[in-house]
């Protein structure tokens, strides 16, 4: 279970950095256009966008299944008087939710640059 959480966080982080890596991998020193990417870089990003969206949606489904379970564990830890454990679980939940928000924002930004709708 913990390995899945770590894997989910790692994939979300990779997707966050990956989209920037795709767009900025061979960006010229003088920006062209408002995004700073050349047409070929944007074409490569836009070609990979549907697969990226599918990966994000699959990970979100797992996160949405995990969060209520983690919240229940947090509530149980609080009820049993394990405040330190409950705080750690709460921090983990917050970190995962914040990462999900960042990934969704980056995905929406990439979709907007490509002229598609983020799903």
End-to-end CA distance of the chain: 27
Instruction: Please give the backbone phi and psi of residue 116, each rounded to the nearest 5 degrees, phi first.
Output: -115, 170
pLDDT tens figures, 51-104 = 999 999 999 999 999 999 999 999 999 999 999 999 999 999 999 999 999 999
- Domain residue limits, the chain: 2-114
State how far the Cα of 114 lies from the Cα of 58, in Å rounded to an integer. Answer: 21
Residue 86 CA to residue 83 CA, distance in Å, equals: 5
For the full predicted model, state whether its pTM sits above 0.85. no
């Amino acid at each position: 279970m913990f390995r899945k959480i770590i894997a989910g966080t790692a994939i979300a982080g990779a997707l966050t950095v990956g989209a920037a890596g795709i767009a900025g991998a061979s960006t010229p020193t003088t920006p062209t256009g408002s995004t700073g990417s050349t047409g070929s870089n944007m074409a490569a990003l836009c070609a990979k966008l549907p697969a990226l969206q599918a990966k994000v949606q699959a990970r979100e489904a797992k996160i949405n299944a995990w969060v209520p379970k983690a919240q229940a564990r947090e509530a149980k830890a609080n009820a049993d008087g394990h405040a330190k454990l409950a705080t750690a679980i709460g921090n983990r939940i917050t970190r995962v939710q914040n990462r999900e928000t960042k990934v969704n924002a980056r995905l929406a930004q990439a979709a907007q640059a490509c002229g598609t709708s983020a799903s």
